[in-house]
Amino acid sequence: MSDQATHMTSDQTVLLRLSGLATSALTTAVLVAVLIFMPFLLGGSWTFTLGLCFANSIGVLAVSLLVRYGGEVSIGHTFFTALGAYSVGVLDTRYGISLWASVPLALLLGVTFGILFAWPSRNLHGIYLAVTTLALALAVPEMINNFDALTGGYEGLYVATPFIPGIDMGLQRYYVALFMLVIVCLAVVRLRLSRQGMALLLAKTHPAAADAFGTRRVWARISIMGISGGIGALCGATLALSGSTVSPGGFTFWQAIFLLVGSVVSFYGLSLPRVLIGGAFVTLVPQLLSASGAWIPVFYGLALLGMILLGHYMPRIRKAMARKSEVT
């Protein structure tokens, strides 16, 4: 009798997990379908803004992945976004290399520099690693300005080469950014379901068990920093295309803080809806508050507090509504 009850409970658990996956996949599919038709409903300015929102969502995903799988906080991911953006900008404006070649190169550079950064800091944790990434964020604008012969200095670079020749650039900046976001989210889903992804997660949650299975935590941290750096570089490459300009003002210390805030607002979620919430908060809220003058920091703080409280109490609200519907 007991075995039967246990078996039924296990089946119910599997059904619940499958139901949850199906619901998540359906929600993502509906959301992508709505976003595909969005340019036909909105004006050109909103299409441009949403393209930037998709690009920032990729950056939010890069930070969230590092937190979820590495257990560390980065406030210097603008280094990787700048690396990706200037890879595309320099190759496009200086050498006329197609975006089809420069975007994979930006990804490769992001992964490489992520590993190079993670190796000497592999034994740093918590606030020490966060301060180290802070140094990266502070150094980025100065490095860009000092290499002005290549980066264009304060004036920046203008990315005008179309990704697909013959198609309107306004639509390309929207749809290419959306395509990049969907592809990155699907790749992260594949990572989460793979044995390598589970090993990385095990190294974070149970280091002793990971050692027993042959997964060293140091290598896991270096790997996840490389992956996160690569995704950050893809964020920069997408920003270069969707924003059409690359300049030091887009990769300041405050931009790094905004990416971290977007990650917190999305509750470090790795799904498309969650990262879109973080990207929208980073992109849309400052624009909506732009007419508030000196009250912008106050309203931004209130909006941030409201989002965090809403996300914290939302599960309890759903449970209360579910109980109420069962009673009625």
pLDDT digits (tens, 9 = 90+) for 146-165: 888 888 888 888 887 777 77
**91 contacts 151 by C-beta, under 8 angstroms:** no
User: With 50 as the cut, is the pLDDT of residue 20 above it?
Assistant: yes
Q: What confidence score (pLDDT) does residue 1 get?
A: 42
User: With 60 as the cut, is the pLDDT of residue 7 above it?
Assistant: no
Phi, psi of 194 (to 5 degrees): -85, 165
Among the ranges given (56-60, 79-83, 268-272), the one the predictor scored with the smallest mean pLDDT: 268-272
User: With 60 as the cut, is the pLDDT of residue 8 above it?
Assistant: no
User: With 70 as the cut, is the pLDDT of residue 225 above it?
Assistant: yes
Q: What confidence score (pLDDT) does residue 22 get?
A: 63
User: With 80 as the cut, is the pLDDT of residue 122 above it?
Assistant: no
Among the ranges given (79-88, 90-99, 273-282, 303-312), the one the predictor scored with the smallest mean pLDDT: 303-312
Q: What confidence score (pLDDT) does residue 5 get?
A: 45
Q: Is the dihedral of CA 116, 119, 120, 123 positive or negative?
A: positive
User: With 90 as the cut, is the pLDDT of residue 234 above it?
Assistant: yes
Q: What confidence score (pLDDT) does residue 15 get?
A: 59
User: With 90 as the cut, is the pLDDT of residue 231 above it?
Assistant: yes
For the chain, what percent of residues have pLDDT higher than 90?
A: 21
User: With 80 as the cut, is the pLDDT of residue 24 above it?
Assistant: no
